[in-house]
Amino acid sequence: MDVTGAQWRKSTRSGNNGGSCVEVADNLPGVVLVRDTKDRDGGTLTFGPVAWRAFVDELTRRP
């Protein structure tokens, strides 16, 4: 998969924690990409938009 057009962002809640966070790119059609900020070339997880939304929804329900 060509991810050269991915626009990566990290959560504003990540703060300045030494890079221990993930980045998400959701601007490509039909996929959401996730990668580790400490190892940006180490691989990318790929999710379908429905699966990603379910994951985010579950996280936002937790205290």
Residue 49 has pLDDT above 90, yes or no: yes
Residue corresponding to tokens 């990290």: 10
DSSP state of 17: S
- Average pLDDT, rounded, for the chain: 87
pLDDT band at 18 (very low <50, low <70, confident <90, very high): low
* Alpha carbon distance 12, 9 (integer Å): 9
> What's the predicted TM-score (pTM) here?
0.81
Average pLDDT on 46-60 reads 93
Amino acid letter, 35:
R
